């Protein structure tokens, strides 16, 4: 099984530096970060100058021989209208780069307000789902600690509430978070992309463990996804701004996970 490298493994530098380092590990496919205020493409600048930013990104991708399979985005703060403009720009970029999925965090959505006061956020997601469809990509939210998608049942309910919205499964959040490795299977029919890293059950302090040292049941994850009909991409998600428990840096962990994944049978046969 081949996985893509995340540019968030090298988030401290610019796009060119991140791509060079991802290439050095041996990845040829990437998940590109387009997170406002962080890395590596600014949705605000992208919305202001789509041709310029597209040209810059394409030039660096071609220089390093990289193909984008997904975009991991964050639209920043501000009113929904502003975030919608940025989101549409990211979705258009994804379509032009041939990336299949754009992932957003579950910002603004909490378990207690999905039904009561999140109508504006849900309406924004619905409009962005329509924009994603027009661009030929899928919009997904990530299963993430601290938001409504930390609870697997609520994550599945969110996807049902916004037809066409997918979920990016990061099992580390369902092991380290409140689910504690239980009940996450309910999201499988909604999975549009997968982030991989090992984790323990000890909360945020164990969200990144060296591959093979944690408790994430990767064979079980693959089996459940296969049974649900998932045939999409996988990306490593070791982030250099978070410590990796187990004595490795993010780059070492990403390399180790790629070696581990090479021994997994995927795609499923039959």
Per-residue pLDDT reduced to its tens digit, 25-71:
999 999 999 999 999 999 999 999 999 999 999 999 999 999 999 99
Q: What is the largest CA-CA distance in the chain?
A: 48
Please provide the DSSP assignment of 153-196 as one string: HHHHHHHHHSTT-EEEE-HHHHHHSTTTTSSGGGGGGGEEEEEE
Q: What percent of the chain has pLDDT over 70?
A: 95
- pLDDT surpassing 90 at residue 185: yes
Measured CA to CA, the distance from residue 36 to residue 252 in angstroms comes to 26
> In the structure encoding, which two tokens stand for residue 237, read together?
């998600």
Q: Domains in the chain and their CATH numbers?
A: 5-261 (3.20.20.150)
- pTM exceeds cut of 0.85: yes
Per-residue pLDDT reduced to its tens digit, 73-111:
999 988 889 999 999 999 999 999 999 999 999 865 554
């Amino acid at each position: 099984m081949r996985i893509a490298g995340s540019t968030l493994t090298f988030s401290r530098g610019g796009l060119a530096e991140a791509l060079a380092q991802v290439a050095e590990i041996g990845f040829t496919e990437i998940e590109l970060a387009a997170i406002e205020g962080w890395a590596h493409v600014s949705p605000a600048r992208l919305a202001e100058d789509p041709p310029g930013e597209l040209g810059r990104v394409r030039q660096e991708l071609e220089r390093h021989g990289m193909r984008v399979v997904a975009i991991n985005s964050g639209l920043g703060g501000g009113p929904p209208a502003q975030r919608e403009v940025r989101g549409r720009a990211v979705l258009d970029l994804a379509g032009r780069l041939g990336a299949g999925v754009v992932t957003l965090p579950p910002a603004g959505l909490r378990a207690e307000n999905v039904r009561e006061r999140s109508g504006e956020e849900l309406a924004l997601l619905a409009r962005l789902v329509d924009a994603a469809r027009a661009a030929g990509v899928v919009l997904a939210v990530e299963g993430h600690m601290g938001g409504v998608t930390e609870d697997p049942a609520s994550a599945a309910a969110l996807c049902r509430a916004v037809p066409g919205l997918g979920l990016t499964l990061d099992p580390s959040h369902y092991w380290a978070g409140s689910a504690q490795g239980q009940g996450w299977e309910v999201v499988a029919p909604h999975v549009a992309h997968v982030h991989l890293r090992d984790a323990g059950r000890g909360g945020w302090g164990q969200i990144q463990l060296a591959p093979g040292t944690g408790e994430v049941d990767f064979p079980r994850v693959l089996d459940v996804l296969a049974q649900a009909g998932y045939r999409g991409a996988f990306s490593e998600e070791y982030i250099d701004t978070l410590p990796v428990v187990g004595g490795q840096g993010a780059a070492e962990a990403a390399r180790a996970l790629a070696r581990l994944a090479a021994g997994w049978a995927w795609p499923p046969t039959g």
